[in-house]
Amino acid sequence: MAAIDQALTVCKRYEEFWCFPELLRNKGELHLLQGSGDAFLKAEDCFQQALDWTGRDGTLAWELRAAISLARLWQSQGRNREARDLLARVYGRFTEGFGTVDLREAKRLIDALS
What are 32-77's pLDDT values in tens digits?
999 888 999 999 999 999 999 998 888 999 999 999 999 999 999 9
Residue 3 has pLDDT above 90, yes or no: yes
Supply the pLDDT for residue 37. Answer: 86
Q: Where are the domains of the chain?
A: 2-113
CB atoms within 10 A of CB 109: 20
Cβ–Cβ under 8 Å, residues 31 and 2: no
pTM of the model: 0.95
Supply the pLDDT for residue 76. Answer: 95
Residues 1 and 31: their CA atoms lie apart, in Å, by 8
Residues 42 and 39: their CA atoms lie apart, in Å, by 5
Residues 30 and 89: their CA atoms lie apart, in Å, by 25
Supply the pLDDT for residue 56. Answer: 85
Q: What mean pLDDT is reported for the chain?
A: 96
Q: What is the CATH number of domain 2-113?
A: 1.25.40.10
Cβ–Cβ under 8 Å, residues 24 and 49: yes
Residue 113's pLDDT band, with cuts at 50, 70 and 90, is very high
